[in-house]
Chains A and B, each alone.
Chain A
Amino acid sequence: MTREDEKTIACRCEDISVQEIKDAIHEGYADLQSLKRYVKFGLGPCQGKTCILLAAQILAREMGQTLDQIMTPTTRPPVDPVPIGFFVKGKEADDEK
Chain B
Amino acid sequence: MRSRYDCVIVGGGISGLAIAYELAKRGYKDVAVLEECYLGSGSTGRCGSGIRAQFTGSDQIVLLREAEEMWSHLSEELGYDIHFKACGYLFLWDTPELVEQAKHNVEFQNKHGVMSRIVDRQEAKEICPSLNTDSFLAGQWYDKDGMAFPFDTVTGYAQAGRRLGVDILTTTDVFGVESTAAHTFTVHTTQGNIETKNVVNAAGPGSKAIAAMLGVDLPYRLDKHQIMATEPLEQFLGPMLVKNSLYYLQTHRGNVVGGTDTGDKNATDIDCTFEFLTKFAREATEIVPRLAGVKLMRQWAGYYVVSPDAHPVLGPIDQVPGFFQANGYSGHGFMMGPIVGRLLAEYIAKGKPSIDIEHYNFRRFARGELLTEKAVIG
Residues of chain A touching chain B, judged by Cβ–Cβ distance below 8 Å, are 31, 33-34, 37-38, 40, 43-45, 47, 74, 76-78, 81-91
Contact = CB atoms under 8 A, between A and B. Distances in A.
Nearest to A81: B295
Contacts of B293: 83-85
B77 interface: no
Given A84-B280, A84-B292, A89-B278, 10 more contacts: A31-B38, A34-B39, A34-B170, A78-B297, A81-B297, A84-B230, A84-B281, A87-B280, A87-B296, A91-B278
Contacts of B39: 34
Q: Which of A31, A84, A88 is the most central at the interface, judged by chain B CB atoms within 10 Å of its CB?
A: A84
A75 to B, nearest CB: 9
A88 B287 CA distance: 13
Contacts of A37: 40, 45, 151
Interface in B279-295: 280-282, 284-285, 291-295
Contacts of A87: 277-278, 280-282, 296
Contacts of B272: 76-77
A34 B299 contact: no
B298 interface: yes
8 contacts: A43-B253, A45-B297, A81-B231, A84-B296, A87-B278, A87-B296, A88-B282, A91-B278
B235 to A, nearest CB: 17
Interface string B219-239: 000000000001110000000
Contacts of A47: 297-298
Contact of A38 (B151, B275, B281): B151
Contacts of B285: 84-85, 88
A10 B245 CA distance: 39
Nearest to A85: B292
Contacts of B275: 90
Contacts of B280: 84, 87
B300 interface: yes
Contacts of A85: 281, 285, 292-293
Contacts of B170: 31, 34
B361 interface: no
B122 interface: no
Given A45-B231, A76-B300, A83 B295 contact: yes
A86 B294 CA distance: 10
B294 A90 contact: no
